[in-house]
Amino acid sequence: MSLEEIKLEDLHMDSFLREKAGELSAAVGDGFAVNALSGGVDSSAVTMLGHRALGKRLKTYFIDNGIMRQDEPQQIVSLFASLGVTVELVDARKEFFTALKGLTDPEEKREAITQTFYKDVFGRLVRESGARHLLQGSIFTDVEETVAGIKRQHNILAQLGIDTQKVYGYNVLEPLIQLRKPAVRKVAEALGLPASIFSRPPFPGPALAARVIGEVTPERVETVRKATRIVEDALRDSGAFQYLAILHNDRVTGMRNGRRDYGQQIEIRCWNSTDARTGSPTRLPFEILEDLAGKIVGEVPGVVSVTYNITRKPPSTIEAI
């Protein structure tokens, strides 16, 4: 890989921000750029940096792909509005679910999300807007994992030899590509984003689809979304690196109201990690686990079993897909 990492200790914030803003401005010239905000720390930092560098030459979209967490699209759009950044919410739920229909293989699901995002939805937005540049928050770890063939991160294109200009009709600008997550958090803070963003736990690009084993349907996403809300509410103050709920494909026999109920299974994961490259399960108190199990079977329709994952990464990965 020819790309050189900028380590946290070598990051000189003022000059980094000045340099990147200058590069963006020069690349876009008197044209304009678009970007997609997901509310994660990477895309949020890029959105702020882009607006600082380009002002009205940047248009930001939030694409509702139907696989985000509860209320996430509206919350992120209002947060940025309060920071003076206008974000247009695009409803693309149908397109994503159509693309995911019938797919069960993890990499095929990731590929379907990538194609729907870049080619169909975003490609259309870029074409309609006439922008020549796509600003995006890819970071060093995304490139590493993709190039190593571990998981295809949905935002990595050029590093896989994909000529975005040729394939999608736009040029990709990636000002954070030399940074790892801790450095990106510092950049986000320096750009004036609130702690709810700069210290946000990671969330994958393929969103809740990375946590649905088997087919990703609106109903199955709704199940994992409800469980995610319960897990996040319970573990927000745990100090863990990342915590999540996964919906399994296999059903198990349970019982409800004295009758057999062949139901769904939710797996909880709660990770200790510093950079997501390795991880270990946190030793959550049993009371918290029991409480989580009770809430999930009580509040998420169809779920009869809740498990806690006690495997390290590697060989596990943080997400299920």
Name the residue nearer to ligand XMP (CB basis): 232 or 261.
232
Task: Write down the least CB distance from residue 296 to ligand XMP, Å.
Answer: 20
Among 35, 116, 223, 242, binds ligand XMP (CB under 6 A): 242
Closest residue to ligand XMP using C-beta atoms = 205
Task: Write down the least CB distance from residue 243 to ligand XMP, Å.
Answer: 11
Residue 23 Ramachandran class (φ > 0 left, ψ -120 to 50 alpha, else beta)? alpha
Stretch in the footprint of ligand XMP (CB under 6 A) among 47-55, 56-64, 299-307, 313-321 = 313-321
Task: Write down the least CB distance from residue 13 to ligand XMP, Å.
Answer: 23
Beta bridge partners of 309: none
Q: What are phi and psi of 228, to 5 degrees?
A: -60, -45
Site residues (CB under 6 A) for ligand XMP, limited to 74-113: none
**Does residue 116 bind ligand XMP (CB under 6 A)?**
no
Name the residue nearer to ligand XMP (CB basis): 153 or 265.
153
Distance in angstroms (rounded) separating the CA atoms of residues 223 and 225 = 5
What crossing angle do the helices spanning 181-190 and 41-54 adopt, rounded to 10°? Answer: 40
Name the residue nearer to ligand XMP (CB basis): 176 or 297.
176
Place of tokens 């959550």: 284
Name the residue nearer to ligand XMP (CB basis): 244 or 292.
244
Among 72, 144, 267, 319, binds ligand XMP (CB under 6 A): 319
Are 260 and 304 contacting, i.e. CB atoms less than 8 angstroms apart? no
Provide CB contacts within 8 A for 212, sequence distance 6+: 220, 221, 224, 246, 247, 320, 321
Name the residue nearer to ligand XMP (CB basis): 67 or 304.
67
Among 28, 234, 292, 318, binds ligand XMP (CB under 6 A): 318
Provide CB contacts within 8 A for 187, sequence distance 6+: 11, 13, 16, 17, 45, 49, 176, 179
Task: Write down the least CB distance from residue 66 to ligand XMP, Å.
Answer: 16
Among 45, 246, 276, 292, binds ligand XMP (CB under 6 A): 276
Provide CB contacts within 8 A for 73, sequence distance 6+: 62, 64, 89
Query: How many positions of this chain bind ligand XMP (CB under 6 A)?
Result: 14
Tokens of 165: 């200009």
CA 127 vs CA 70, 166, 242: distances in Å: 30, 13, 37
Tokens of 182: 């801790």
Distance in angstroms (rounded) separating the CA atoms of residues 218 and 319 = 19
Question: What is the 8-class DSSP label of residue 118?
Answer: I
- At residue 146, what is the residue type? T
Name the residue nearer to ligand XMP (CB basis): 175 or 204.
204
Task: Write down the least CB distance from residue 29 to ligand XMP, Å.
Answer: 29
Over the window 141 to 180, marking each residue x when it contacts ligand XMP by CB under 6 A and - when it does not, the resulting string is ----------x-xx--------------------------
Over the window 194 to 233, marking each residue x when it contacts ligand XMP by CB under 6 A and - when it does not, the resulting string is --------x-xxx---x-----------------------
Name the residue nearer to ligand XMP (CB basis): 217 or 273.
273
Closest CA to 243 of 227, 257, 256: 227
Please tell me whether residue 199 adopts helix, strand or coil conformation: coil
What residue ranges bind ligand XMP (CB under 6 A)? 151, 153-154, 202, 204-206, 210, 242, 276, 313, 317-319
